[in-house]
Structure 1
Amino acid sequence: MSDCGCDKARKDLEEYLRNEVCKTEHADIRAHLENCPSCRDEALVATTLTAVVARACKETAPEELRDQVLARLRAEQATHH
């Protein structure tokens, strides 16, 4: 296991966070993140952003808003046919 450097860690950060890199690369990137506060902060931002987006995708729009959007879509479709 070796430190892969900032360029490699940042280039492959998203794949690393999704466990989409090979075990050797994963270990090298992890070693780098353990020793580089800047890249570790970037990984934390990416992890936090991913969690916030995932949580937002689970929320359901209020029924009234959904009805308004669907009504508007239907109206737009009717005018274009």
Structure 2
Amino acid sequence: MSDCGCEKARRDLEEYLRNEVCKTQHADIKEHLERCPACRDEALVATTLTDVVARACKESAPEELRDQVLARVRAIQAGH
């Protein structure tokens, strides 16, 4: 294994975080992140952002809003 450097680590960071790189690349990027605080911070931001978006996608609209939207859609469809 060898430290791949900031440029490569940052270029491949998203794929690394989703485990979409080969084992060698994964090991090289992991080693780099262990040694480079700036890239490690960038990885933390990317991971945090991904987690926040994933949680937001799991939330559902309030039932009242859902009913209002469906009623409006039905009204529009009835007019066509």
Cα pair distance change 1:9/1:75, threshold 3 Å: farther
Cα pair distance change 1:34/1:66, threshold 3 Å: same
TM-score relative to the length of structure 1 = 0.86
TM-score relative to the length of structure 2 = 0.87
User: Paired residues, what number?
Assistant: 80
| C-alpha distance in structure 2 between counterparts of 1:53 and 1:66, whole Å | 21
State the identity as a percent.
85
Cα RMSD for the two superposed structures: 1.5
Structure 2, gaps ≥5 residues long = none
Structure 1, gaps ≥5 residues long = none
| C-alpha distance in structure 2 between counterparts of 1:16 and 1:65, whole Å | 39
| C-alpha distance in structure 2 between counterparts of 1:74 and 1:13, whole Å | 45
